[in-house]
Amino acid sequence: MTHFQFPPSLYYMQEQQFHNYLPSTVTAGMQHYSISNQYPISQHLQSQTTVSIPINNYGCGLPNAGFNGTNTVMKDIEEKMDEDNRTNITNLYPEILTMIFSKLDLQSKGRVAQVCNGWRDAVYAKSCWKGIEAKLHLRKGSQALFSSLIKRGIRRVHILSLKRSLKDVVVSLPNLESLNLSGTYNITDVAITQAFSIALPNLRVLDLSLCKQVTDASIGQVSHHVKNLEVLDLAGCGNITNTGLLLIAWGLKNLKRLNLRSCWHISDQGIGHLAGMTKDKADGTVALEYLGLQDCQHLTDEALKCIADGLQSLKSINLSFCVSITDQGLKHLNKMPCLEALNLSACDNITDMGIAYLTEGVTTLVTLEMSFCDKIGDTALNYIANTLFHLKQLSLNACRITDTGLIRVARAIHELEVLNIGQCSAITDQSILVLSETLQNLRAIDIYGCTKITSEGLSIIVKLPKLEHLNLGLWHKR
């Protein structure tokens, strides 16, 4: 307990004001002080100018008035104020504050840090920032920012713009686990070579998508110094060739996800490198679980043969807009035991027979996308209904299907959660009626352009118990 001189301004506190300051349980014991004006409180305060102020853990003091011969009253007052102090957020342990602040969104955490030093220290605890990706505009003189990121334990960085050396970023953040450079226009081979000139064992994720100046030279540098990389995104890097894929197959043995969307120069030979078909040059990236080949238009069925023979761990493949893929290629894919997701959207040469080949060996699919495959019809849906019982997402936009095929699927596959049948102009209320009876787990459905579905059909579909998204084209119902 610390003693302070009572402020003179309180000598003349009105009696009723002081009375109101006290808890109701205490005021009953003070009636003898307010019977008359002969002994007002102000006179008593003038006679005792020393009061006791309890100091809490944060140095915040609260005044307690003292009375001669009234120890019981004083004790009640102090206990009441101690109770108030204990329930104040400023008196919570820093560990509890950290737990509270960890529930806030990113913007609120930034605001909390500006309230006071205690809150800033609590919100800067590493547990508050676990999994957070910092999005940064980096300019010269950012060293204090790097120190702040390290203090908070932030290991995932998305660089929105860069006006300093990329090497400074990599060197200043030695524990970096994820680096997103997507769309950073001034990232060149020179910048990559300088930044990745030392071993970076902690880096697991690297996104170079839409870094259009990056070539195979950058891939060689990354493959040599970032051996533990698990995710590499090269989408839209149009200068990457089969040589780049050879370098990946040589150096990145732990790679699990690789996105090569719109890398137009790669061909079957490059996929062969990844699949370990050229053992004399590279063992391949046999741990791959996802391979994105969207819009790689030079790929043929031979690439799928390499994938099926060498990349048996693949769970997901995106082949959308690979226009040279045919039914024969899908015959190769039916040998893949782990395959869970396959995107064949806009593969113009895929027909019902290709789906027949695929479903001969693959029964584990959870997601199948065939939108804009105009040679897919009810026959393909029959094959799907007979084998793919665990399917949860099926996309058939603009396919040549009718009520017959769709009803067959709806009655066989009850786990469907997402169904896209937009622009399937032959679908009618008959399908909608069956869907509403059998697909009770449906969360989203696209029926944009299904001109034969009437308002009566819509009134049925919206009653599905778990439906969250209904796409009708110009407006989206949730």
Task: Report CA dihedral (101, 104, 110, 116) to the nearest 10 degrees.
Answer: -30
Instruction: Report the b/e string of 392-419 with b at 16+ CB within 10 A.
Output: bbbbbbbbbbbbebbbbbbebbeebbbb
**Structure pTM?**
0.79
The DSSP result for 441-460, as a single string, is T--EEE-TT-TT--HHHHHH
- Work out whether strand 50-53 and strand 2-5 pair parallel, antiparallel, or are unpaired: antiparallel
Per the DSSP assignment, residues forming a β-bridge with 161 are 137
- C-alpha distances (whole Å) from 431 to each of 195, 399, 439, 448, 460 are 57, 15, 11, 15, 11
Check: CB of residue 291 under 8 Å from CB of residue 307: yes
Q: Which residues contact 21 (CB under 8 A, 6 or more apart)?
A: none
| Rounded Cα distance, 217 and 337, in Å | 35
Q: Which residues contact 117 (CB under 8 A, 6 or more apart)?
A: none
Per the DSSP assignment, residues forming a β-bridge with 180 are 158, 207
The pair of three-digit structure tokens given for residue 375, joined into one six-digit string: 């040679």
| pLDDT by 10s per residue, the chain, length 478 | 444 343 444 433 444 444 444 444 444 444 443 333 333 444 444 444 444 434 344 334 444 444 444 566 556 666 665 655 556 777 777 888 888 888 888 888 788 888 888 888 887 877 777 888 888 888 876 678 888 888 888 889 999 988 888 998 899 888 999 999 999 989 999 999 999 999 999 999 999 999 999 999 999 999 999 999 999 999 999 999 999 999 999 999 999 999 999 999 999 999 999 999 988 888 899 999 999 999 999 999 999 999 999 999 999 999 999 999 999 999 999 999 999 999 999 999 999 999 999 999 999 999 999 999 999 999 999 999 999 999 999 999 999 999 999 999 999 999 999 999 999 999 999 999 999 999 999 999 999 999 999 999 999 999 999 999 999 875 445 4
Task: Provide the 8-state DSSP code for 6.
Answer: P
Q: Which residues contact 438 (CB under 8 A, 6 or more apart)?
A: 410, 411, 414
Long-range Cβ pairs for the range 24-29 (8 Å, 24+): 25/76, 25/80, 26/73, 26/76, 26/77, 26/80, 29/70, 29/72, 29/73, 29/76
What's the pLDDT at 101?
A: 82
| Rounded Cα distance, 325 and 319, in Å | 8
What's the pLDDT at 439?
A: 97
Per the DSSP assignment, residues forming a β-bridge with 5 are 50
| Rounded Cα distance, 251 and 221, in Å | 10
| Rounded Cα distance, 387 and 376, in Å | 17
What's the pLDDT at 151?
A: 81
What's the pLDDT at 86?
A: 59
Query: What's the first-to-final CA gap in the chain, in angstroms?
Result: 61
- C-alpha distances (whole Å) from 461 to each of 118, 341, 468 are 54, 26, 11
What's the pLDDT at 113?
A: 83
